[in-house]
Amino acid sequence: MEAPRIFIVEDDALIVAHLQQILQEFNYGIAGIAASGADAIEQIEKTNPQLILMDIRIRGPINGLEAAHRISKKQDIPIIFLTAHANQDYLNQAQLDNVYSYLVKPVRSIDLHTNIQMALFKHQVQQRLNMVNSILKTRQQINQFILERRSKKELLNGICQMLAGTDVFTTTILLTDTHNKTMEIFISRDYEQDGKILKQKILENNMPPCIQNAFDTDEVVITRVAEDQCILCKFCKSVAGQFHLSYRLGYRDTQYGVLTAYLAPTFEADEQIVELFKEIGNDIAYAIHKFDIEQMQLKAQKMLKESEYKYRILSENALVGVFLVQNEQFKYANPRMAEIFQYESPKKILQLKSYLDLCHPENHQKIKAVFKEMLESHSSPTHIEFSGMDKDGRRLELELLASRIEFQGKEAILGSILDITEKKEKDEIIRVLSTGIQESPVGIMVTDPEGKIEYVNPAFTKISGYSEKDVKGKTPRMLKSGEMPEEFYRLMWKTISSGSPWHDEIINRKKDGSFYWAKLLIVPIKDANNRITHFMGIQEDISENKKLQQQLLQSQKMEAIGRLAGGIAHDFNNLLTVINGYAQLLLYALKEDDVHRKKVEQIFQAGEKAKNLTSQLLAFSRKQMRQARILNLNDVIENYLPMLKSLLGENITLDIQLASDLWPIESDAHQLEQILLNLIVNAKQAMPDGGKLTIITQNCAIDQKFASDNEGARAGDFVRLSVADTGVGMDQETLKHIFEPFFTTRGVGEGTGLGLSTVYGIVKQNEGMIYVTSAPQSGTIFDIYFPKVEGTEQATRPENNEEQQNLRGDASILLVEDDADVRKLTGKALSYFGYKVTPARDGKDALRKLKADRQAFDLLITDLVMPNLSGKKLAAMIHEYYPGLPVLFISGYSENEFKEENRNDQPNFLQKPFSPTDLAKKVNELLKDRNGAR
């Protein structure tokens, strides 16, 4: 096979040399080299290469893009662009021409080779698609031509010219009535003179072998023409090397002639071309058949008028039943009519009261309507099938061809009857046997022993997308996905070839390129001699089951990550409590001009940043403390609007669409602001060149279908928050991981990867649902669903913003903390503010110290999560005896220690890590409430 010839357009000599080396390494031919766009256009028109390597930014007045554009207007040659700068504008413009791909310089050998192969393959596929479309379009034109009922000669000559007018066939010859001296030959205009010579030789019984062989088979005869192949035919020299196709034209055992054609030099006689050529031949044969039948009827009518005797001779020797009906009675019936309906002679038929006596009662109205239509409207000959009934009442299946004539000065119906009862019975048996397979919900395929497909049922088409026409005659290799090892297929073929059934699960490829899981059973079908005659494959689509398995695994993975994140955050919060606490105590102790103060401030600031990170981890793990209340989401968005606009900047357009009748939800307003902040930041980074951000709220009733189709969804009433941007979008692989902590598509130092995981955790903590829709260059939409709640909106609890707050006190505090470092720091912080602190290492130690002096303590501070006895159980036990003792709970995470009814307002909870100031404020607040209550 000749190596593809490549033309190089590049103004850099070193790159040209490099490209030549790569092309020679892979045995490609070099059609030419040009250093400018103008030179490339001129040379390529002369050399006509198979592929062009084109530098986009080539020097000169005509750059690579313009040169490609001009070449594509004249020649169909695939182009691969080479560029040192992957400028998106250039690449978008490149898509307008015959460009198959682009490569960024410097080019690797394997990349260039792979792209050349892919471009040549895609170009070949496109050419083939154009070929098939050309033939199908011509076939449609031929069928339309047939319907226009021209003369037979005009019809056949027109068909011949149409075929030769395609890009696939160069010369077309059509011979009819080849069995006698009335043979006619029709040939495309480009070889009319040579056609006369060929016709003379055929009349002299010198039929060319390439045509003669077609009479001996029902299949297309394929010949590769050699220049000196046949002395009988002058075409050999002009079509040397081309494929020659010949096909016998026949219909219902009647031979009408031969259709022969030469393929264009660029095409080979493959299975698809041959099948289309055969179908066109069958169309022509049927047209000739119909034309002959109609001509026979017209001649019969003429003969009836001219001579009753001649008509009877023709009719009584016909192989079909011939009849004449006038005034609903038979006026004539030939012997074949009597044979079909089991009457002793045609006279018995003439004695019937009505032609309906030969029709099955079910078809009386049908036949009456057909005859009435012919008589009243003078319509063209009618061809129908109907049910008849013989003398003994046996049902017959018949084919009727009838037309209106004048008989003895009155209108009548002349028709012919063909008995198709036996054929119908066989068809019915086949129908009954195939119904089960046709209606089966599983895909069924039948192949011959070599694996060529002979049949597929509708369920196969529904599962794979391939119709029977797509796959017939081919092998099941089209279903190979590339996801199964070759050993899998080798073992499968070995098993079924030995006569044993095969069953397993497999990943197959659909017609649209997508994959699906199937449970597969292949059974060898054997004849009486135990020889395999066919294979039957049965496949069931189990993709949905596999999808559910994957969803379960994903859910388990996210839950495991959440547990890990929550555990890390809890332990890290204990450390941060110590770090930040001692840093703040140091700041209290250092003067403003102390040389070490700046260093301690840096430690404290770093600790605060770490505190924010752990807060995001807690949000993802759904262990962040929340102060939930009934609120309107629109209010949160409107209050946050000034901050939102300042974040977006001037190059991003903001579109807010808030439903006026929005249902209330129960959530933490601060958490909702966290969601908005993270989604807005994410959207802004996706639109570096500007764009549009849309925020929509609306009421949404989710039905069971939506819940079934979407992972984690449930039916009910929800408030939907949609945040959509027009940014760069995300691919499917990115979408799989966007909610995982620390996953980011940005560079090092440009983000923590906790933004979307924080959103995910908050949504799940609020018993909501979140879904993402995105594709590269198509923007991103986040849809979040919050459950609707009943009740009225609750006002936000006002905060105390007094900066100068007296935090000192002298109360006695029992401090319970299992972490020694946190316990020590907390004690020192409280002591710094004047409080008397009694530390306890766990719940049991606290109970002992409390019992030792029942009136010694004014406040209990306890960690929520401790071994043996949790802080919540400890508080409950103490309150049985000392119900008035206030309690402050501290924890690195909440882990839902509080019941739902206590979540809305938690003044007696402090989240780790906390500063000494935060601790003092909370203690001061609790003690003040207690004293006020007294």
| The pLDDT value given to residue 802 | 41
- Cβ atoms 752, 745 nearer than 8 A: no
Per DSSP bridges, beta strands 453-456 and 443-447 are: antiparallel
Give dist(CA 547, CA 251) in Å, integer.
52
Helix (H, G, I), strand (E, B) or coil at 183: coil
| The pLDDT value given to residue 191 | 61
Shortest CA distance to 79 belongs to which of 46, 96, 266, 109?
A: 96
| The pLDDT value given to residue 308 | 64
Give dist(CA 779, CA 683) in Å, integer.
9
| The pLDDT value given to residue 573 | 66
- Cβ atoms 516, 541 nearer than 8 A: yes
Which amino acid is located at 388 in the chain?
G
- Here the tokens at position 807 are 């935090």
pLDDT in tens, 131-155: 777 777 777 777 777 777 667 777 7
**CA 253 distance to own-chain centroid:** 47
Tokens 């009457």: give the residue. 343
Question: What DSSP letter does each residue of 358-423 carry, written as one string?
Answer: GB-GGGHHHHHHHHHHHHHH-PPPEEEEEEEE-TT--EEEEEEEEEEEEETTEEEEEEEEEE-HHH
pLDDT in tens, 255-297: 888 888 878 777 777 887 888 888 888 888 888 888 778 777 7
Q: Which long-range contacts (CB under 8 A, 24 or more apart) does 736-741 make?
A: 738/772, 739/558, 739/620, 739/770, 740/558, 740/561, 741/561, 741/565, 741/616, 741/617, 741/620
| The pLDDT value given to residue 743 | 66
In 485-562 the beta strands, taken as DSSP E runs, fall at 502-509, 515-526, 532-541
Per DSSP bridges, beta strands 443-447 and 532-541 are: antiparallel
408 phi and psi, to 5 degrees?
55, 40
Q: Global pTM?
A: 0.34
- Cβ atoms 99, 14 nearer than 8 A: no
**CA 755 distance to own-chain centroid:** 30
Shortest CA distance to 539 belongs to which of 504, 568, 591, 496?
A: 504
Spatial CB neighbours of 888, under 8 Å, sequence gap ≥ 6: 859, 860, 861, 862, 908, 909, 910, 922, 923, 926
Quote the DSSP letter at residue 688: T
Give dist(CA 389, CA 349) in Å, integer.
12
| The pLDDT value given to residue 785 | 94
**Kind and range of the H or E element at 468?**
helix 468-471
- Cβ atoms 782, 679 nearer than 8 A: yes
Give dist(CA 734, CA 774) in Å, integer.
10
Alpha carbon distance, N-terminus to C-terminus of the chain: 103
Helix (H, G, I), strand (E, B) or coil at 500: coil
Per DSSP bridges, beta strands 254-263 and 169-176 are: antiparallel
- Cβ atoms 862, 891 nearer than 8 A: no
**Low-confidence residues of the chain, pLDDT below 70?**
1, 85-99, 149-150, 177-183, 188-199, 203, 225-241, 300, 303-311, 379, 548-576, 578, 580, 605-627, 741-755, 793-805, 854-855, 892-907, 929-934
Quote the DSSP letter at residue 747: P
